[in-house]
Amino acid sequence: MIKVNITLICLVLIKSTLANDGFSYDIDQSELESLVRPALREAFQQVGRAIHRTDKNWKNEDVWKTPLRLFQYFKQPPCQETADMAKAGDIYHYTFDILQNKLKNRFSRATVAELAKFSGCRVNSMSPKCPNTCLATLYRSHNGDCNHATNTYWGAANNPFVRWLPAKYENGFSTAIGWESDRLYNGHRLPLVREVSNDAMNTSNNQSGDSSYSHMLVVWGQYIDHDIDFTPQSLSTSTFQGLTNCANTCENKSPCYPIQVPANDQRIKTAKCLPFFRSAAVCGTGDTSALFHKLRPREQINAVTSFVDASTVYGSSDALSNVLRNLSTDEGLMRVNALYSDGSRAYLPFDPSKGCVQDPRDLSGNKINCFHAGDGRVSEHLTLSAIHTLWIREHNRIARALKVINPHWNGEILYQETRKIIGAYHQVVNWKEYVPKIIGPTGMAMMGSYTGYKTNENPSISNVFATAAFRFGHATISPMFRRLDESYNNHPTYPTILLHQAFFSPWRMIREGGIDPIMRGLIGKAAKLIVPSEMMHEELREKLFLLQNQVALDLASLNLQRGRDHGLPLYNDWREECGMSRADNFSQVAMEITDALLRSKLERLYKHPGYIDVWLAGLAEELLPGSRGGKLFTCMLSRQFKFLRNGDRFYYENTGVFTPQQVAALNRLSFARVICDTTGLTEVRRDVFFLSTYPTGFVSCNSIPSLDLMAW
């Protein structure tokens, strides 16, 4: 018998005096004992076995040779608290599935309380006790708690995404859109996501470049996305009932929600479906939610802090932050790589628990692991790893300078002050340089100027932003990974390669020239332009994480399936939310989706414009002037970035966070200066997000203002 663990993050949902709370019991206590406890034991066994099997597979070196495992790698919970929540949620919901037939929906509060108590379920975050100390007043917590005085969990890690519109699930509570293959929408079945990817999003690697912006705009978007949201998937890669590997089944059995391959798809020769895993649910939502104090559909976990706070550098938990710090000295430094260096500059440390793709030509046997950073997705692509590397170098540079200016500061103050500066630096780059370019004048007017901290604006990331709107950037990724020399020409030694060859490959950075050629490639080459006829090139649609001739993943299908998994409302609901009229036919969306050929494809697929998946609908719209989104995404992006800025008590321009002199020093900064201070580049654009051909528009690093640390 498995011992039920009640020491997990338990939150007793119902008052202990259940018999006196006025609730009418559907079953008596003896029946509760005879049914609930055995079901819980069975759920613990089945979920435990499935997770154990997955954990065992991770230890097999060969798993890093498959694209599926690489995809799973960066969807795993980032810390033990998140893993506990995900496991508790799986046990909770699977127990409910077991009991559903036995109890015939005769559930009482007592039943639910038992499930919650013994599965380790946490339906809502408990408001933390916020310390009233000098340090807590001056510096934000690593997990984001206590930013708001009363809603202390707003923006904190391991909390549900917020909803701007009610969730849309097929059974009203938890089953994903498309879960039931015969379900009709306006009299028609929704198209398979792979069918949509094939018919409406398919294009070659010959792409239109963005004439205005460099590829740095794309990678900063991905980096800052990882700073503010992360949705872990189920801990198991097998079905709970039968323990069938999700890669070997085309049935919808939690946590598996496979992507069906259409009969006319070339992939049907090798696979009838592509594996997909549902996102981990917040315990106590979904089918059981009606039994709580208010109706609550299935929600997903944001495992990192919502704030733009450089959690990518420092982590979203105290435990991870302590691992990443160099505590061997009292200088407030971050750990760096002990085995390799980029000339005189540091690399990120390796994560000893995470293997990565190895150089197939190397016979030395010296393994190069994935990098270790505040966000586990750091090694997903070399361009992302390069941005992470900049900030770890910048932290240590600033910490050493502050030690000279303030020799009386101990290591903790040096660390916290530097972390605070780096967090502010992220905000400067994001709101001053990046955001205006993606939301344009219309979005900037919607976001408005900063007028101070707003206690009524929730900075928590919304589900639709994380799952659809901010994924607009996937359509701006170049199919090529470019490395350039000192004159911003193609590097003679390290040539341009296809995008998929740079996934999970830190060895290419270590052994192929460091980060300088990568940074020049980001600054000196164009982003992909969002064009309705060129939505998703084959590097992402047919070769995502392609390794050793394995069946690769399809990013377009993954994004569409994830939106359905999360219960995102479809196009018409969001049109109305963003001030547009609901559409009854495709001629009524012609003002937004102006490409006639694309509209005809969407009509053939969806039959009705109101049921288009929201991520695709946003990409299909004509870009607003000066932006990289149409009406729908501009509405969502500007709203979220407004809440993130205004609802953050530690936003750098908020009165009292920094002194006026410090704010003035920070406002003179640019991302270009970070690059100059942390790499071997000597010439860059003042705004590295703008594109021009070298040497036009490039200036010496000596002419770019530095951070005046004397204000500290």
- 90 with 212, same domain: the answer is no
243: tokens are 């323990």
Single out the residue in 275, 302, 329 at which a domain terminates: 302
What is the per-residue pLDDT for 163? Answer: 96
Residues of the chain with pLDDT under 70: 1-33, 56-74, 93, 96-97, 100-127, 283-296, 545-552
Instruction: Note whether 210 and 294 are same-domain residues.
Output: no
Give the helix/strand (H/E) hosting 259.
strand 259-260
Cα–Cα distance measured from residue 673 to residue 682, given in angstroms and rounded to the nearest whole number: 10
pLDDT at 7: 25
The reply to whether 241 and 384 lie within a common domain is no
Residues 205 and 247 in one domain: no
* Residue at 170 is within a domain: no
460 is a domain residue: yes
460 plus 380 within the same structural domain: yes
Q: How many CA atoms lie within 13 A of 504 on its CB side?
A: 25
Residue 142 labelled as part of a binding site: no
CATH number, domain with residue 392: 1.10.640.10
- 465 neighbors 566 (Cβ within 8 angstroms): no
| Single residue among 302, 326, 357 that ends a domain in this structure | 302
Active site residues: 226
- Of 690, 230, 229, 227, the closest CA to residue 422 belongs to 227
Domain extent for 427: 194-230+304-570+613-711
Query: Is the CB of residue 465 less than 8 Å from the CB of residue 637?
Result: yes
- Is 297 part of a structural domain of the chain? yes
Contact between 443 and 684 (Cβ < 8 Å)? no
pLDDT digits (tens, 9 = 90+) for 202-232: 887 777 899 999 999 999 999 999 999 999 9
* pLDDT attached to residue 645: 98
Max Cα distance, the chain (Å): 81
Q: Omega into 38 within 30° of 0, i.e. cis? A: no
Instruction: Return the pLDDT at 294.
Output: 45
Q: Please report whether residue 685 resides in a domain.
A: yes
Q: How much is the pLDDT for 695?
A: 97
**469 shares its domain with 546:** yes
Examine the domain organization and report whether 271 and 357 are in the same domain. no
Tell me the pairing of strands 202-203 and 536-537. parallel
Give the chain's domain count.
Answer: 2
Decide which of 256, 279, 302 is a domain's last residue. Answer: 302
My answer on whether 487 and 539 are in the same domain is yes
Residues 396 and 359 in one domain: yes
Task: Tell me the CB-side half-sphere exposure of residue 433, using CA atoms within 13 A.
Answer: 27
Is 244 a member of any domain?
yes
Q: 220 and 76: one domain?
A: no
| Residue 362 shares a structural domain with residue 239 | no
Instruction: Establish if 397 belongs to a structural domain.
Output: yes
105 and 198, same domain (yes or no)? no
Number of other CB atoms surrounding residue 661 within 10 Å: 12
| 426 in a structural domain | yes
pLDDT at residue 181, rounded to an integer: 86
606 within a domain of the structure (yes/no): no
